[in-house]
Structure 1
Amino acid sequence: MPDVYVGAQRISVSAASNLLDALNGAGFNVPYSCRAGSCHACMVRCVDGAVADALPDALPVAKREQGWRLACQCSVLGDLQVALYDPRLDGLPASVCAADWLGEVLRLRLLPERALRYHAGQHLLLWLGGVARPYSLASLPGEDDFLEFHIDCRRPGAFCDQLRRLRVGDRLRLGELRDGALHYDPDWQARPLWLLASGTGLAPLWAVAREALRQGHTGEIKVLHVAASDAGHYLADALQGLAGLAVEQVLAEHLDSALAQLRPTSRQTMALLCGSPSSVERFAKHLFVAGLPRNQVLADVFVEHA
């Protein structure tokens, strides 16, 4: 049986064991959210030895060259020495500059200890009390001097319970910054741009919409936001305040009828989708049936966690 060393501790595991399961089974409490290689919460650094990595392209080349791997995607091949991600050493400190409730959604604004280079549509890992969760950035670099996140905290959970107690001045750590499918391309400037979101899937699309307007987008920009209740339309006033957007707010129970009326006027339309898996699937299916090519439909799915 291979031995896995974590600092001075040794655990024996079965060959081909999932590394995340092996570490957590031994009590190391490596955080995770999706187990699909998307959230990056379970990063560990392989100091010596090799693993079978099912998703080698999930991390940037620079991170991989430093030995970082996603434990959920790795199988143990032989003896292995790993170092766990320590947000106190590897994370970027940030302080809370605002924590406001917009209907059912917590709008969290953070000031990082040093400037963070990012673009609209990216995700960032937040560490709080030893628990990590990934969230999309809703802020716009170059305009906002803070990092903004929109977080659904209605349900109890290890992370959300701590978020509800945050106050201005409290500190947390920022982990891995990564790309998703969502972004704004200047080459789209004259093309219709549709932004379809459910729940807090609106967060990255709020940033993308503002980026499009900043870059002088001349085509139509349509925003469709689906929520379970009127209170779930948490950016209603802010969206209406942006000139150049056509905004439609839809209750989830009326989504089918809203989609039936949604017909692209141009085959050049770019559609960006974000939200729960079921919502994104319904958005995408409708757009494909309506004739949009698949390479013009970009989607990020939000993993449910608390």
Structure 2
Amino acid sequence: MPELRVGDRQLQVAGQSNLLDALLGGGVAVPYSCRAGSCHACMVRCLSGEPLDRRPEALAADKRAQGWRLACQCQVVGDLEVEPFDPQRDGLAARVVALDWPSPQVLRLRLEPARPLRYRPGQHLVLWTEQGVARPYSLASVPGEDDWLEFHIDCRLPGAFCDAARRLQLGDGLRLGELRGGALHYDADWQARPLWLLAAGTGLAPLYGVLREALREQHQGAIRLLHVAHEAAEHYLADELQALAQQHANLQVSLVTAAQLPAALAELRLVSRQTLALLCGHPETVESFSRRLYMAGLPRSQMLADVFLPRA
């Protein structure tokens, strides 16, 4: 049986065991969320030996060269020594500079990192509490326009991170994990193309950043943003979006509830075969978006989707 070493622990594990399961079974506190290789909360660094990596493309080449692997995507096939990601050692310090509740269930959190962070709207960061709770969130801020990193945290359901986030106060510290690219972004080559931005819940966060980036780049094509929420009170950026629509004649904003979504999707009509669609939110809603767009004549190759996977 392969030996798995973590610090002073020596674990005997069955061959072909999932690395994350082996670590958790051995009492090693490795955070995890999606188990799909998307959130990157379960990163570990290989000090000796090499696991079988089922999704090597899920990590950037420079991270892999440093020995980092996603535990949820690896199998133990031989003796292996690893160290889990340590936010105090490997993360970037940040402090809370603003927090408010733009709706009853959404916390808007703004952080100031200890050093400037280069990023693009639509990317993700893993946030770590001082107690070691980790969760990935999309950036809603725009570099060069905002002096902070902004995140929209859905607190509708209980969870270790959102429960901790409810207790945050100004000046509190967090640690930032890996910055990674999501599927959503804005490309200056899209200037003249129509854009459809369809978001569910806090899936609006990355699209809000992408929208503001497009407007800052003086996007010329029509932009249509649709936000679906469980109820009207949860259109947490309604005022900001309506203000942008008043300032930009090419922007149309639609705010619908879950009950109104089928009718709103049925009304979507493709006006140009050059249209691009960016979709974000719960997997079922994103699938509803993409299915309707495909039926309206939009090729799937012109849809960029980012799903918020529920915790496994």
After superposition, where does 1:1-306 map in structure 2 within 5 Å?
A: 1-103=1-103, 104-128=105-129, 129-242=131-244, 243-244=247-248, 245-305=251-311
- Deviation digits for residues 218-255 of structure 1, max 9, x if unmatched? 01011000001011100000001112220000110111
How many equivalent residue pairs?
Answer: 306
| Paired letter, 1:298 | L
TM-score w.r.t. length of structure 2: 0.97
| Paired letter, 1:98 | A
User: 2:204 is paired with a residue of what secondary structure?
Assistant: helix
User: 1:106 is paired with a residue of what secondary structure?
Assistant: strand
| Paired letter, 1:53 | D
Deviation at 1:7, TM superposition (A): 1.3
**Structure 2: how far apart are the matches of 1:218 and 1:65?**
41
**Structure 1 vs Structure 2 CA RMSD:** 0.9
Deviation at 1:18, TM superposition (A): 0.4
Deviation at 1:160, TM superposition (A): 1.1
| Paired letter, 2:50 | A
- Deviation digits for residues 89-127 of structure 1, max 9, x if unmatched? 000000000110011210000000000000011001000
Deviation at 1:87, TM superposition (A): 0.3
**Structure 1: how far apart are the matches of 2:170 and 2:233?**
24
What are structure 2's unaligned runs of at least 5 residues?
none
What percent identity do the matched residue pairs reach?
Answer: 66
**Structure 1: how far apart are the matches of 2:293 and 2:41?**
32
**Structure 2: how far apart are the matches of 1:105 and 1:304?**
16
**Structure 2: how far apart are the matches of 1:290 and 1:175?**
39
**Structure 2: how far apart are the matches of 1:169 and 1:121?**
26
User: 1:241 is paired with a residue of what secondary structure?
Assistant: helix
Deviation at 1:304, TM superposition (A): 2.2
**Structure 1: how far apart are the matches of 2:94 and 2:289?**
35
Deviation at 1:295, TM superposition (A): 1.2
- Aligned structure 1 segments of 4 or more residues deviating by more than 3 angstroms: none
**Structure 2: how far apart are the matches of 1:101 and 1:304?**
22
45-54 vs 153-162, which moves further: 153-162
- Deviation digits for residues 32-73 of structure 1, max 9, x if unmatched? 000000000000001101110000011111110110000000
**Structure 2: how far apart are the matches of 1:40 and 1:214?**
30
TM-score w.r.t. length of structure 1: 0.99
| Paired letter, 2:305 | A
| Paired letter, 1:66 | Q
Deviation at 1:305, TM superposition (A): 3.9
- Deviation digits for residues 186-235 of structure 1, max 9, x if unmatched? 11101111100000000000000000000010010110000010111000
| Paired letter, 2:54 | A
**Structure 2: how far apart are the matches of 1:247 and 1:157?**
31
